[in-house]
Amino acid sequence: MVGRTFLVRHDDSTFTVDYDTDDGFEVFQFQLFSLTSIPPDEQKIVGEDNDRIVSDDSDLAAVSEKLQLVSITSEEARKPEKQEETTSSTAGAGNFDAGTSVMSDEELARMLQAEEEALLLQQYVAGDNRAQFEEKVRPYISKVLLYEDPVRQEAARKTVRLDNLEEKALVSLAKEGNFKPSKVEEDHVFLLQLLFWFKSSFSWVNAPPCDGCGNETTAQGMGDALPSEIQYGATRVELYRCNSCSRVTRFPRYSDPLKLVETRKGRCGEWANCFTLYCRAFGYESRLVLDFTDHVWTECYSEALGRWMHLDPCEAIYDRPLLYEKGWGKKLNYVIAIAKDGVYDVTKRYTRKWNELLSRRTITTESSVVSVLTSLTKECRRNCTSQVLSILEERDNIEREALERDLRSTDDAPISLPGRQSGDKQWRIARSEFGTESLSSSSCTVRICSDEHVTKIYNAFFSILHKFVEDSLTASKGVEVLKILRATVVDLKKLPYKKRRASLKPNSIVGTSLVHQLLPSFKELLNALSLKSELDSNGILSVCLAGDPVQTALALPVALHALDELISDLSKCDNFSKGSLSFPLLRLNRICSGAVLASGEELPFGSATAAFDGTRMSKWEEPNGAKGCWIMYKLSANMQELVAYELMSANDAPERDPMDWVVEGSNDGGLSWHVLDERRSEMFDKPFQRKTYNVKSTGFLSNLFRFRFLAVRDVKSTSRLQVGSIDLYAKQN
């Protein structure tokens, strides 16, 4: 129902907006976005009568009907370049930039009071164990210096398919519409791909399999290290007895990353140790981060973000420093970052409960912690020039300010963080680190959907199938032609992305002459893939790059999956003729290049735009969508009449498949909605199943489409909804 009608003033214009309580505050923000082009994450909505900032449904219910909308970006642009806020506290002062949401004055005052009381109490409970604190940190200094060894760095680089990670990094940017990234942008996403690659290539060891028969083993205690093991820092060796053949298997805990590059297995200590070497091998400023409550991870300096970024190789999670406190439920005390040029207390980056955490920092006093780390840092920098020292000291000051700022930030409040995923389940439960299943966001920003290549590929099959009909090819022979195209796409995908070239290989059913005869009909598809055909002097027909190799890398998976589906559909055609050239065999006039917003998304691998990227390799996942969620697609151009749509099930977990939903269109940017289609009790039989639906209510032009998913297949067994893909088809002019 419509709850209220608001008059929203923005600049010199006033808009009338109906607020539907069934939709919620996020949809209200999207309505404002469609009217003013201010994205939700940049909107500041204020009640004109009482200056109350509106941030949720309850605020909308409480304020008057007159609102003012301000763009945060524009508002900040009008402020002085440097706005300093000084807070008097034992924690020091910090600059609060416009991009960080900070707590209210009242909340800040309460926090500062609590910190002061915690520090006062700590004086009575903290020990005088300065030496003990130093002994825990000092050994890691020599460890991080190993990462600077050229031999170790080269050994790490040799294990990585550099072109493959570069391709994945550039494709991830291209999916966001960035085909010409800067070096800084490219370096940032390459680091993330390195993290994901490491997670898939390194093995977690709970109990090693038997060296003899490969069966499960049971821990038997510790053994003495052999000289060959001590050589690579394995002063501890765990022993395991096979449950089948009784053979004893040794598990040396190597600390030398050179050996870990070879073994590629271990627990969090080995993972973080080895991954930090990889980061240094590819030129990233890196730190090994020691958590005194028994965990280790990595920090790298991101030029793109202008700050240090948290990376956990065991979990493949990045830039989520509250993972341990908020997700795992860890009771942190000391978090120390060790680099070649210094040792840093970064605990404040990983907590929003500093005053509570202070009560657990009992090894020594805070002044002793500062003194020890300052002394160790001076040792690390003793050979630095005065110019380098000046740069490092400036960076240290910036980081100290950032840590104070982050401590008071509320930006990460909507993020739901997971419990520990690595390690045996019972082991995680015993450590009280199990938590929830995965990383998710309860809200997401408006995202541009760069999917024009998907539409071009779908359209390109018209020329090919039309040529089949024109040349009186049977469906079975057409399938063989498509299989040749598919084999070529597969061959291209296997090659380095900058050197793609593969031949169109005729077979016993489709000869060379027929391939040459059909070649003109392939042109549109090749263009959609940024490819071209070439005939060499030996008469061999090849396909090679014709433009930006990133465009090709982005489009090849779409073409492969589209060919798989077309081959399957054409195989079912009993009477292939001109009348067959219709939907859904041909999927023409697919809507593309819009903006996407959803009620929630799974990060980083289940974002909202994944529903529209045309591949089976990704999916949109709504972590709280089992009993209801939504996703919207806003057109970038003219109004369109939706006549059909397709949904594809995702790769796993059939209980998360959508079962009941409503499709709606709006011609006023979301102020009002018209029901276009409604489905109940739909069932997907298998993963990656594409189901086609003709819209029941036609004739309505829309500039915004919304899917309201009402229930999943088994709402009792999951809280999640997932969709492999969504394709929208407009009426052909």
- Hey, which residues are catalytic here? 268, 295, 312
**C-alpha to C-alpha distance for 291 and 233, rounded to whole angstroms:** 21
C-beta separation of 665 from 702 below 8 A: yes
- Best CA proximity match to 406, nearest among 358, 348, 356, 357: 348
Residues 6+ apart with CB under 8 A from 239: 219, 220, 221, 222, 223, 248, 249, 250, 251
The DSSP H or E segment spanning 528 is helix 512-528
C-beta separation of 339 from 287 below 8 A: yes
C-beta separation of 345 from 333 below 8 A: no
Write phi, then psi, for 370 (nearest 5 degrees): -60, -40
- DSSP three-state, residue 336: strand
Angle between helices 366-380 and 130-137 (to 10 degrees): 40
Dihedral over alpha carbons 366, 372, 373, 377 (to 10 degrees):
160
The DSSP H or E segment spanning 197 is helix 183-201
| DSSP string of 28-78, one letter each residue | HHHHHHHHH---GGGEEEEETTT-PEE-SHHHHHHS-SEEEEEEHHHHHHT
- DSSP three-state, residue 208: coil
| C-beta neighbour count of 380 within 10 angstroms | 18
**What is the CA angle 338-339-340, rounded to 5?**
135
**C-alpha to C-alpha distance for 168 and 182, rounded to whole angstroms:** 16
- Best CA proximity match to 529, nearest among 502, 559, 508: 559
The DSSP H or E segment spanning 542 is strand 541-545
- DSSP three-state, residue 423: coil
* E strands, 357-512, in order: 415-416, 440-441, 447-448, 501-503
Tokens 């990462």, located at residue = 147
- Best CA proximity match to 454, nearest among 693, 641, 646: 646
Tokens 């930090």, located at residue = 276
The runs of H, that is alpha helices, within 299-432 are: 354-358, 366-380, 386-407, 425-430
**C-alpha to C-alpha distance for 108 and 7, rounded to whole angstroms:** 33
| Exposed e or buried b per residue across 191-203, where buried means at least 16 C-beta atoms within 10 angstroms of its C-beta | bbbbbbbbbeebe
> Maximum distance among all alpha carbons in the chain?
92
C-beta separation of 274 from 261 below 8 A: yes
Q: Which two tokens stand for residue 132?
A: 């003990």
* E strands, 112-259, in order: 203-204, 217-223, 237-242, 248-252
**C-alpha to C-alpha distance for 400 and 445, rounded to whole angstroms:** 29
